[in-house]
Amino acid sequence: MVKIIFLKLIVDIGNTRIKLALFKGKEIIRTTIVEEFTRESIDKFCKKDNFVSSIISSVRPFQEKEKELINLLESLVLDKDTLLPIISNYKSFVGSDRISAVVGASCLFPNKDILVFDSGTCLTMDFINKEKTYQGGRITLGLDMRYKALHEFTSKLPMLSTQKKSLFIGTDTKSSIISGVQQGILSEVLTLISDYKKQNNDFIVVFTGGDCLFFEKELKSSIFADPYLVLKGLNEILEFND
């Protein structure tokens, strides 16, 4: 007997990276990062595996060639009209990456109140309760953007990047920048978590995004980290709409 496997293609176009994933049910078969969303990149990634449905999420407008590819693939595009497996109390359209992360967290941790942090170009925080109702959140600068802002909006501060060690206090310009950026963002996150505990002591914290491993290392056992949370959320949204 021939076993037929139904695969789904997930495409997440972010500010700096384009992520592709193939899912079988709720299981990730494989993922990759590509420079462009093209038929060639899709074919190279999928190889001989055929997918029966697909979903595209993008934080930027689509180019004409991308629109043609979406039509060719008959993909579901995540937008303000897409049906979601959660309820949203947000007063405007939520960024596709934010809402996907929230959906992913809600499905991974059912019946839980959840703070979801997506640490990429921006650092976003979103709250969804155990009734699967999205309440809203915050948007601020991510690690790389903070380093870049210090360099570009001053005349003398050097351009640095995220370091493995987060210094509590700097002893020169370089270490002071590292301390300010990395300890600053950690303090911001910890204060926010602490403020939520004053209102609700029974919730979990989930991190995703390109810098989630930084926060996992620094915050240790107090959080859950899942770099594939957005992809998992997109898969859930696709299944909900199939």
Is residue 202's pLDDT more than 90?
Answer: no
pLDDT in tens, 99-145: 999 999 999 999 999 999 999 899 999 999 999 999 999 999 999 99
**Whether residue 168 sits in one domain with residue 53:** no
**Whether residue 133 sits in one domain with residue 50:** no
pLDDT at 42: 94
Residue positions annotated with a catalytic role: 97
pTM of the predicted protein model: 0.91
CATH of the domain at 34: 3.30.420.40
Range name among 4-8, 107-111, 227-231 with the lowest pLDDT average: 4-8
pLDDT at 164: 84
**What is the extent of the structural domain holding 106?**
87-144+158-234
Total number of domains constituting the chain: 2
115, 117, 110: which is closest to 132 by C-alpha? 110
**Whether residue 205 sits in one domain with residue 102:** yes
**Whether residue 138 sits in one domain with residue 118:** yes
Here the tokens at position 75 are 């993909």
Of the chain, the percentage scoring pLDDT greater than 70 comes to: 98
Residue 187: inside a domain? yes
Give φ, ψ of 153 to 5 degrees.
-105, 15
Dist CA 87 CA 53 (whole Å): 24
- Which of 53, 78, 103 is the C-terminal boundary of a domain? 78
Write out the DSSP string of 172-186: SHHHHHHIIIIIHHH
